């Protein structure tokens, strides 16, 4: 699985990766407003957003309700088919092993993520989970994507709510 690191200088003019990652950040914000860990995702097909999702694990009391899972389901419903072969997923944080598995099943063409997740990210535990043809780009708007999560946990911390790490 070749992962290329995003380089802003590679592109001229308006950068679609930046644009779509900002839309994923809007989704992350929505999760944060519901007191969910702020992770957001969008799926793009032929230059247009066909699905959006944000983390809903608390709201749905479901550990599988990650932003990517919501977006994969919505995209398949929109397209009327389970495969996302001509689609790109933009997600603010590196997908976990579960989501990488689901993205593998979907045969999605491209995955673009912002911040790396050293604790739960798939690149560490299951780099082969994706479809072999899936292209992966990391580091798009990395700082914003990681800041929103860090600030969320900073707010949550109190003597009764100690940090996990």
> Residues with catalytic annotation?
68
Q: How far is the CB of 92 from Zn ion (least distance, A)?
A: 12
Q: How far is the CB of 55 from Zn ion (least distance, A)?
A: 9
Smaller CB separation from Zn ion, 7 or 131: 131
* Binding region for Zn ion (CB under 5 A): 66, 96, 98-99
One DSSP character per residue, 20-52 reads HHHHHHHHHHHHHHTTS---EEEEEETTEEEEE
**Cα dihedral 150→156→162→165 (10° resolution):** -20
Q: What angle do CA 67, 63, 144 make, to 5 degrees?
A: 35
Smaller CB separation from Zn ion, 52 or 66: 66
Q: How far is the CB of 11 from Zn ion (least distance, A)?
A: 28
Q: How far is the CB of 159 from Zn ion (least distance, A)?
A: 30
Where would I find the beta strands (DSSP E) of 46-105?
Answer: 48-54, 87-93
| 143 neighbors 18 (Cβ within 8 angstroms) | no
Smaller CB separation from Zn ion, 121 or 139: 121
Smaller CB separation from Zn ion, 15 or 65: 65
């Amino acid at each position: 699985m070749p992962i290329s690191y995003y380089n802003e200088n590679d592109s001229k003019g308006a950068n679609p990766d930046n644009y779509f990652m900002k839309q994923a950040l809007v989704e992350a914000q929505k999760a944060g407003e519901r007191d969910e860990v702020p992770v957001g995702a969008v799926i793009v097909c032929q230059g247009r957003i066909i699905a959006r999702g944000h983390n809903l694990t608390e709201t749905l009391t479901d550990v599988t309700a990650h932003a990517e899972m919501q977006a994969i389901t919505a995209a398949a419903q929109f397209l009327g088919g389970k495969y996302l072969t001509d689609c790109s997923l933009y997600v603010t944080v590196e997908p976990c092993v579960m989501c990488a598995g689901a993205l593998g099943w979907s045969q999605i063409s491209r995955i673009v993520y912002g911040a790396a997740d050293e604790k739960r990210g798939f690149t560490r535990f299951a780099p082969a989970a994706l479809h072999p043809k899936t292209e992966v780009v990391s580091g798009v708007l990395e700082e914003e994507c990681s800041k929103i999560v860090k600030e969320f946990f900073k707010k949550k911390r109190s003597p009764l709510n100690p940090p996990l790490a």
